[in-house]
Amino acid sequence: MTGDPRNLPRKMVLSYVLFAGAYIVLSDVLLSVVVRDSRYLVRLQIAKVWVFVVVTAFVAYRMLAAQMSAISVEIEERKSVEESLRRQVSNLDVVHEISAAFRSADHLDEMLPILLDNTLEALNTPAGTISLYDTITGRLRYA
């Protein structure tokens, strides 16, 4: 979003005051110079008011639509960032659980099932294995 959204009301009101003031003063001066018949002048002033209402409504609509579009984009971006943060927190929770389990385990044989269970849960996978490489025999063995 461009600029501080808290400035939107101030910008809209300032724009409205400047536009409305200029339109009213300039159109009144122009009509009083051009039109001499008072009945015709009243009709033109009523038409002028309706033109003013329609134009300012259109301008307000365009300004609000632009801001709403920018707000919508920002909301989607924030949702994406929030989801990314949730995934990161979830991953950190798994790392924390594994770390706590490792600290409580005395031997590798106790640690590996904990590691496998937490890894399968984090990956949302139903099955898996851990294989260890035996440097003496040059073979893999299931843990």
In tens, the pLDDT along 10-69 reads 888 888 899 889 989 999 899 989 999 989 999 999 999 999 999 889 988 998 898 899
Three-state SS string across the chain, please? CCCCHHHHHHHHHHHHHHHHHHHHHHHHHHHHHHCCCHHHHHHHHHHHHHHHHHHHHHHHHHHHHHHHHHHHHHHHHHHHHHHHHHHHHHHHHHHHHHHHHHHHCCCHHHHHHHHHHHHHHHHCCCCCCCEEEECCCCEEEEC
At residue 4, the pLDDT reads: 76
Torsion of CA 107, 110, 111, 112, to 10 degrees: 120
- Could you report the per-residue pLDDT of 63-112, keeping only the tens digit for each? 889 889 988 999 999 999 999 999 999 889 888 888 887 888 888 888 88
Phi and psi at residue 73, in whole multiples of 5°?
A: -65, -45
